[in-house]
Structure 1
Amino acid sequence: MRLCWGDIHPVPVRFSEFARINGGGRHSVYANIIEEDPFYRNSAIDRDLSGWNNPKTRCPSHLLNLSKADSDLRALLFLVGLVSKNSPLECILAWGTLYKILDTVRYHSKPLQLSLEEFSDINKINAFTAACNNMSILGVYARHGAAGNSPPKRVITDLDEAIDLIISMAAKFCQAYVNVKYL
C-alpha cells in the first residue's frame, strides 16, 4: 500500500493477530524470526483470479501477488513495510532502511537498463546519501559511525523528506519494474 500511495501512512499497519478461515477464534502473532517468504505454495488459491478477485485491479494486491514468486520484488516490499517513525528507535532504524531501499532499487535497475534518474532527482538522492552516511550530520541516526569526515554541504536531514524521496522513488521503480518484467 505504501508504494501505491507513494508515502507511509501516519497510522501504522500492524499484524498482531490472525483468525483461521475455517473458524477457531483469533490467535496472537509473536514473531521471533522474520519469515521472508510467507506465501503458501498451493496453486489452487490463485485458480480463480478474475473479476473483483483479480489482484491486477488494485495496485497493492497486484504487487503482493507478483511478490509471491518474485523474491526481488518481495524484498523491496518488505523493506518499504519496515519504514516507521513512531518511536525514537524506529526513527534511527528508518534511515538505514531507507538506504537499503535505495541500494535495492539501484541494484535491480541495472539489469532492466533503468537508472535512478528515471525515478528521482539524482541531486536529492546524493543529498540523502551524504547525510545518511555521515555521523557528523545525522548523529546516531547515520548508517556509519564517527569517521572524522568533513561534513558535506548538501544534505537531507529531515526524516519526513527522506521518506518522501525514497518511497516515491521506490514506487516509481516498482511501476517500471512491473512494466518491464510482467507486461
Structure 2
Amino acid sequence: MTEAGGPNLADDKEKSAPAVPTINLVVEFYSRPDPTLQDLISVANLGAGVAVTLYLPWGVVSGHVEANNEFFASAARSIRGEAENTGDENFASMAEAIAGRTFDPWAARVSEDDRLADAIHQGYDLTTFITLTHVQAFLGDSWNQPLQHEYLRVRLNSVTAWAYGMVRGSVPGE
C-alpha cells in the first residue's frame, strides 16, 4: 500500500528484480520413453505392478514394476537398519542425515493424480525412471549367475526393448 502521493514500493521491486527466463520443454519425439512402460509405472503407483524384462545397452534386467517411491523408502530403511546393527552413534547420526536428506523426500507415496499432474506437460509424460523389485540383472556372461537386487531404478531412455514377464528358462545357448 502507498500513502497518497507516496512512492509505490511494489513497483520499484518489480522493476529491480531480474527477469527470469522462460524455459521451454523439449521432448525428442523418437527418443522419448515407451509410453506403455510409463503407463505400467502408473499402474504400479496404483498398487498393481507387473513383471517385465528390460533390454538395456549393458545387459538384461527382469523384475516387477513397483511404485517409484518404494525404491527410496527401501533405501532409507536399509541405511537406518545398517546403522542400528553397528551400535555406533556417529554412524547412526550420519545414516539418519543421509536417509533424511537423500531418500525420505522421495519415499512418501504420491497419489497417481498428483504424480500425473507433476509428470504430464504439454501432453507428454515426463516419467524418466522405472523401479523394479525382485530383480535379476544379466550382464555379459552372467546368465549362469545373475545379479540380484531387492530394488533397481532404471532410466527409461536407456531401455531399447522390453517384454512382459520375467526372464525364464535355461541359459541361452544350452
Higher relative contact order (CA 8 A, sep 6+): 2
User: Which has a greater percent of helix?
Assistant: 1
Largest Rg, 1 or 2: 2
User: Which has a greater percent of strand?
Assistant: 2
Whether TM-score is above 0.5 comes out as no
Give the TM-score band, short-chain normalised. Answer: under 0.3
